[in-house]
Structure 1
């Protein structure tokens, strides 16, 4: 969404607050038709290892997008901006907090058209991000090279504005500083980033990246034993993935390997493989050969193109997604095979529906981040193989088996149980509904409290595993320079090695 703001009277937050405590709220009328939302100093405070932003009033302004044309204002907001429920948007339209061309629009059936400017004034609650500093690796008169912490978006987007790399760097320097990110990193990815100090240097660096004269290196921790690849020494072999990448759902941030997508190429090399602890034990007993899908590998990644989620999508296609990737390593979304070698598009609609149904608050709760992935996999497989009698027994209980996922998928043995019992499909549906409800409650992130100013339900703090994934931009280099950073150690997630 394109955002514009106007200057708002500056409040001296620092003069009226104690260190580590949130600044006082800004008092505004219930409805504001004048764009607001640019407090200075930025209302940051640090607490429990997180950088927080005190809630503030803010106005979003955007032109009507092509896909919105001909739809009602309520439908656009309820479907496109899912962090609040339909009832909230209905009330916001009726009270004039959502306007078209600066005018209140109390008609819920009002249709938006090309050229309309849609505004939404709200009491904004930004999610907290890690309090880890944005470390400067190198700085000269043209560019700043930083080590971006995981979990911090680069640009203001969605629910994030001040908790972004651009705004944090501006707040740390001065209000007139305009950082210009050159390379893009996903919010969940950490590592090397180039920030131009002025348009000329930013454009020069961007041209280098587009001209493919810069070597980009990433490191990832992935599921299972990554293949040896081609080479004289198996450990030094290279695996090449040339699958084109297509955006399946921009709203959900879902991309897949598809023949109709944009050309993409990534080189991978396994650096190390770590089998499960029981397989690696040396207690004198004969060691059991681990399954190729067990344990994890550290993989060196060289993207030769720059598509969105390229490394994450290619690793998923190869059958070795990033261990704690909330989207591409999600069995509830992709089933037990996690989309391995799937480039058909046959199940895209189902995948989008599952991802959409889960919502943002559930994604992190549906991925295993600990040392129990094998147990989860076994439970998934057991659920897939349930018979009619199993489902009936399950339906008679009060809740599904813990962590049973995607029970409606075809069983691995290929047997069509619905042919033997017409009630099977209904039982599967009933079980899936129980699973959805169970996981929805298990993954709920609401605290039960509401904001005293805007009555918005408040979220709990994100866990460490929700602040990043095991994907790190290790180095960028060309003939002129090389910038490299070490692998981070994240509390609560486990070590990379």
Structure 2
């Protein structure tokens, strides 16, 4: 019998062929397009608990008035003769602007995370992958989880030194704790009401008469739902958020939307405002392309920043270099067209201006004390050059018609005012005298693990800013921002680059409770109460000091304490996971999770106000209300 002709085979395969053993060749990692994607990415959800392919676990979700929750906690702690909230703080919590605030609480539930093996994991030990790639637990936890079968490979238990293969699917079953998120405010709620009596009906589906939707709908038709997203809600499940994400909340609010919501674009979790969600994959694909069309999609944001914008833009070395190049460039070239288009140099601008704009400041490199620390790495804050010579770093001033104003100054921009109520669909001011500061500075993700970004290097990015109002009491300015490109955290980075960070954005130069003394007091009280919980409920507190349930990774001591729980005879894996949960031990009951919300950021002063785009049905413009902090 003639042997078949084979090409590109190994010596081992040749031996098998010669001996008549036609064994199967090993298969490598399949392309993503050919992998089995029947399950949702990022997890298979709540695991089966009855063995019949059906989940019997019901996830409890509550919407709680924030003020009532505070009052009930304070009252109970007084009864227990513990150190409690002072009378002044209780009265503060019952103020009208607090009593209307509500939060959505998802009670802990079993959940199985699942992921296909990534290329960089292949041939690595499973314990090393979990320890290096996932930061919620220490190595000791992952070792015990692999041994106990909480972490499986393609449904099978493996040893800690198992080497991952290209076709493996890794699953990890946990007791999932989601952070609390804010939803739309309700009317004033009496703090004398009990917590159970004050739960708000959130069934906002068709035919519902509820007054208080979780998320306010701006526009809805057969193709899209356009909403005003509250800050703290992520657009899609990510990190610790699953049911407390926008699409899940909208589906709860209107049951007819369940299973037919698809993201068109993303908005940062801490950013509020206009968010477009499609009702079909086809609509999401078409609208997604419309949003990416820079020439036909115009986005308008509101932000509240520190200082007299943009007067502080020259207060550091990078600003002085940026605006000196602006002035010198205009001495060399009297601009008649924008020097940049979507963050890249306009080829019509003379090379003389580009040379001046790219030039380093006098004296060469900046001193070490002028460098800034970003995600653990020192980066030269005056770095102007990028890998792409066409990527621009410069600024220029225009009026509302886009005409270059060569003789305008930063002070002129501050003295100029824009009326938000008279914005055109393109985001331009009706007053031609309104001045805009246009900034082109590249941006990049500095650390993928924690999502921190930086400006000065990376992909081309461009934003235009105009002044709306100035508050002398807080020394802060409300500005309109029009991003011409869509880089991650672009507006936040560009404002930080100009030395006018968003006032309450702690990640990029702001202060967590800037101008919010009430919020700061409530945060102090909440943290004090959490520490009091630890003192009362733990003889030996093993929880990290000032840690919130999901913000701080579990420690070896916490894992060891949880590991002291032995699996009981007849106890299921899910029951054991819940009983020995590290996060349950840390949160100490349902009230603590609301307290944890109060010590985190309740959102930054950045709001998506208006989106205009050309879609399948022509030009549309969606606009939502201005937030209270901008009025």
Q: Distance in 2 between matches of 1:467 and 1:208?
A: 31
1:118 has 2:170 as partner = yes
Aligned to 2:459: 262
Q: Distance in 2 between matches of 1:327 and 1:37?
A: 40
Indicate how the Cα distance of structure 1 residues 171 and 39 shifts in structure 2: closer, same or farther if over 3 A, else same: farther
Give 1:164 deviation, angstroms.
0.4
Superposition pairs of residues 18-417 of structure 1, within 5 angstroms: 43-47=60-64, 48=66, 49-107=102-160, 109-132=161-184, 133-174=214-255, 176-212=258-294, 213-227=296-310, 230=397, 231=405, 233-234=412-413, 235=416, 236-259=434-457, 261-276=458-473, 295-329=475-509, 367-371=511-515
Q: Distance in 2 between matches of 1:93 and 1:223?
A: 49
1:218-262 alpha-carbon deviations (Å, 9 max, x no partner): 011112222167355532322222112222211110111243x22
Give the total of aligned pairs. 349
Higher relative contact order (CA 8 A, sep 6+): 2
Superposition pairs of residues 2-17 of structure 1, within 5 angstroms: 2-5=41-44
Q: Is the 8 A contact 1:244 1:264 kept in 2?
A: yes
Tell me the secondary structure at the aligned position of residue 316 of structure 1: helix
Q: Distance in 2 between matches of 1:198 and 1:72?
A: 40
1:369-397 alpha-carbon deviations (Å, 9 max, x no partner): 13499xxxxxxxxxxxxxxxxxxxxxxxx
Give 1:177 deviation, angstroms.
3.1
1:309-347 alpha-carbon deviations (Å, 9 max, x no partner): 1111111222222122232126xxxxxxxxxxxxxxxxx
Q: Distance in 2 between matches of 1:474 and 1:54?
A: 33
Q: Distance in 1 between matches of 2:118 and 2:174?
A: 21
Aligned to 1:453: 579
**Structure 1 unaligned residues grouped into runs of 5+:** 10-27, 278-294, 331-366, 374-439, 490-494
Indicate how the Cα distance of structure 1 residues 171 and 463 shifts in structure 2: closer, same or farther if over 3 A, else same: same
Instruction: Compute the RMSD of aligned alpha carbons.
Output: 3.2
Tell me the secondary structure at the aligned position of residue 236 of structure 2: coil
So what's the TM-score if we normalise by structure 2? Answer: 0.50
Q: Distance in 1 between matches of 2:55 and 2:114?
A: 12
Indicate how the Cα distance of structure 1 residues 112 and 296 shifts in structure 2: closer, same or farther if over 3 A, else same: farther
Give 1:303 deviation, angstroms.
0.6
Q: Distance in 1 between matches of 2:456 and 2:119?
A: 24
Q: Is the 8 A contact 1:150 1:188 kept in 2?
A: yes
Q: Distance in 1 between matches of 2:279 and 2:498?
A: 39
Indicate how the Cα distance of structure 1 residues 446 and 183 shifts in structure 2: closer, same or farther if over 3 A, else same: closer
Give 1:276 deviation, angstroms.
4.5
Q: Is the 8 A contact 2:302 2:606 kept in 1?
A: yes
Tell me the secondary structure at the aligned position of residue 114 of structure 2: strand
Tell me the secondary structure at the aligned position of residue 187 of structure 1: coil
Q: Distance in 2 between matches of 1:441 and 1:327?
A: 22
So what's the TM-score if we normalise by structure 1? Answer: 0.63
Indicate how the Cα distance of structure 1 residues 38 and 222 shifts in structure 2: closer, same or farther if over 3 A, else same: farther
Q: Distance in 2 between matches of 1:69 and 1:136?
A: 45
Q: Is the 8 A contact 1:6 1:38 kept in 2?
A: no
Give 1:144 deviation, angstroms.
1.0
Rg comparison, structure with higher value = 2
Within the candidate set 454, 458, 462, 2:597 is matched to 462
Q: Is the 8 A contact 2:291 2:613 kept in 1?
A: no
Q: Distance in 2 between matches of 1:167 and 1:218?
A: 25
